[in-house]
Amino acid sequence: MADTPASAQKNPPAVDDINNDDYADEDMNDSALGGIKKVHSADDDEDDDDMADDEDGTSGFNGEGMNLTTTPRKSQPAFFERSTKAAERAAQRSTFDENNSFLLLDNPGLNVRTPSRVPGCFGKRDRGKGGAPPAYAKRVTADLDSDDELMMNLKDSGFSDQQIADQLADEGRVRYDRKSICTRIFRIREKQAKLMDDMLEQGLVEWQYPDDSLLIQAHELAEAEISTEIERIRSQRFRKVSEHMRKLNKDAKWSAKACHDRYTALMDGTAKIPSQQHDDPEARRRELEARRAAFERARLEERQVQEEKATRAQKIKEEARLRSAQKAEQTALAREQKQKDKAERAMKRAAQQQLKAERAVANRVAKNSRHEHLKAKKVAELEDEENYSKAHVNESGISVVDPKKPVPGEKDPRSHLSLEDLKRLCAHRGVNSEGKSREELTGLLQCVDEAFSLNQLKAMCRAKGLNTAGTKAQQQQQLALAEARSYASYVKGFEREQPIEGGKVKSTTELIDLGSGDEDEDEAMLY
């Protein structure tokens, strides 16, 4: 242990408790081939460890004297869970069941997608049956094949390179790129010209008279084209001169036109001498200053003219904007006035309609009053002429009358009320009582009662606990009597105005319900 380093003593290496002899054992190899799960048997591991220890005679110590019985903290045993699972998966991949067989049969109807690339050509596209072959390195010669001949004929006919490439592909010929057409045509023409030069040197061909005529004509055309090109290039000469002058001196800002004019004047001898080299430099300086002053005055005048023009334009624009704003304001005011007039007309119409409604109510009240007056007058005349009452008064003072006819000559009980109570009643019923007498108020209340239907009157009588039998006039009489009795002035007015016959107050008629309710319309009681 003295020769053992400190690092080894502190962290001893992980050592398997199974040596190479264990893996060489026939039983171990058979278990690995038949199924690695037998390795998990703890008893077999302990027996193998004991046998190995007995054979070595070390009892937990190796030849170097290191203790192998205590397992380090971070060390893992040989048959750790991860390693055993990996071994299980490997064994399962290497074993199979001979009884379970799966055969693949050829299926002629199986759909197999045809690859778009040619096999073994590193991504080369398959053109398919009848398609145009791709471009390949075809030798350029003076002897034209059918593809080159078609290409040259189409080019001479004026077709573009793209049209030539499309035509070749449509006919199933070589599929050239658009950019390759012009290059190949140029190379073919070069080959043809070289072949003709060789034949001229060898004396195999000679110039003919038509060729000489064409040569002269072609030379003239070439000279004209070259002259045009030379003139085009010469037209850019002084632009280049201006650029070179700026390169030579950055303060030289002469334009191409200025350079051309000065150079022409220098060559012709008409150029002006600079002021410093003139015989009278002061005179030249004054002339230059005068020209500059005149130029400044002209520029100032032009600027003033432009400013005046801009001012006039701005003024015109402002006036137009002002007119537009005024017009918009007038339009808005006219629209507002129109709305006001419309509202006033609507208010006037509403006032007129309200006035008409009040007038109609007043006319209806007056009409009803006249009708009631005529009716009362007629009833009074009938009382004087004949005895219309069918009631038989007995000793108790009770008589039976026909409830289907109103009692003639019956006065409205509300007429016995005082003027103040009548006004309160009219206010409660929603009737205007301003400046009206007691008779007019009573007539207005009767007009309001006439507006209700029989069913509404019965509902009102039922709500007040009154008898619902009888006609509409009798229902109105009951309601009027109930309303009059609710005021204290009714008793005083009734006693004051009721006539006395034989020392007794005249009896009044009131409907009573002697049966089961609404269906008993033929009962009445006088008291």
445 part of a folded domain: yes
110 part of a folded domain: no
Same domain, 382 and 417: no
Q: Tens of pLDDT along 426-480?
A: 887 877 777 778 788 888 888 888 888 888 888 888 888 888 878 888 888 888 8
Domain range for 421 = 413-526
pLDDT at 54: 43
Same domain, 287 and 366: yes
Residue type, 442: T
pLDDT at 121: 65
In our burial notation (b when 16+ CB lie closer than 10 A, e otherwise), range 366-376 reads: eeebeeeeeee
Average pLDDT over residues 167-184: 90
Same domain, 366 and 427: no
pLDDT at 1: 40
Q: Is the pLDDT of residue 43 over 50?
A: no
Q: Is the pLDDT of residue 400 over 50?
A: no
pLDDT at 473: 86
pLDDT at 283: 83
CA distance 102 to 124: 37
Q: Tens of pLDDT along 322-352?
A: 999 999 999 999 999 999 999 999 999 999 9
Average pLDDT over residues 226-235: 93
Q: Is the pLDDT of residue 17 over 50?
A: no
Q: Is the pLDDT of residue 48 over 90?
A: no
Same domain, 382 and 301: yes
Q: Is the pLDDT of residue 421 over 70?
A: yes
Would you call 104 helix, strand, or coil by DSSP? coil
Residue 442 burial (CB count, 10 A)? 24
Q: Can you read off the two tokens belonging to residue 47?
A: 């027996």
Residue type, 323: R
Same domain, 324 and 422: no
Closest CA to 464 of 451, 447, 478: 478
Q: What is the pTM of this model?
A: 0.32
pLDDT at 85: 76
Same domain, 427 and 504: yes
Same domain, 428 and 522: yes
394 part of a folded domain: no
Domain boundary among 78, 93, 108: 93
CA 293 to chain centre: 67
Q: Is the pLDDT of residue 63 over 50?
A: no
CA distance 235 to 230: 9
Q: Give the whole-number percent of the chain exceeding pLDDT 90.
A: 33
DSSP element (H, E) containing 492: helix 489-497
237 part of a folded domain: no
Mean pLDDT of the residues in the chain: 74
pLDDT at 313: 94
Average pLDDT over residues 3-29: 41
Same domain, 422 and 505: yes
Same domain, 450 and 507: yes
Same domain, 358 and 441: no
CA distance 71 to 152: 90
> What one-character-per-residue DSSP string does 49-90 give?
HHHHHHHHT-SSB-TT--B-SSPPSS---TT-HHHHHHHHHH
pLDDT at 127: 61
164 part of a folded domain: no
pLDDT at 433: 75
Least confident of 65-69, 75-79, 415-419: 65-69
Least confident of 109-113, 142-146, 153-157, 284-288: 109-113
444 or 67: whose pLDDT is higher? 444
Same domain, 462 and 498: yes
Band of the pLDDT at 417, cuts 50, 70, 90? confident
CA distance 178 to 165: 6
pLDDT at 318: 94
214 part of a folded domain: no
Domain boundary among 373, 388, 403: 388
Average pLDDT over residues 235-260: 92
Torsion of CA 49, 51, 53, 54, to 10 degrees: 160
102 or 447: whose pLDDT is higher? 447
Would you call 486 helix, strand, or coil by DSSP? coil
Domain total of the chain: 3
Average pLDDT over residues 145-163: 93
Q: From residue 170, give the alpha-carbon distance in Å to each of 149, 164, 165.
A: 16, 10, 9
End-to-end CA distance of the chain: 145
Band of the pLDDT at 357, cuts 50, 70, 90? very high
Q: Tens of pLDDT along 476-522?
A: 888 888 888 888 777 766 656 555 444 444 444 444 443 334 444 33
3-state SS string over 270-329?
CCCCCCCCCCCHHHHHHHHHHHHHHHHHHHHHHHHHHHHHHHHHHHHHHHHHHHHHHHHH
Domain boundary among 27, 59, 93: 93
Band of the pLDDT at 403, cuts 50, 70, 90? very low
Same domain, 354 and 438: no
H helix count then E strand count, the chain = 17, 4
321 part of a folded domain: yes
pLDDT at 154: 94
pLDDT at 428: 79
Residue with tokens 């269906």: 519
383 part of a folded domain: yes
Least confident of 95-99, 161-165, 168-172, 373-377: 95-99
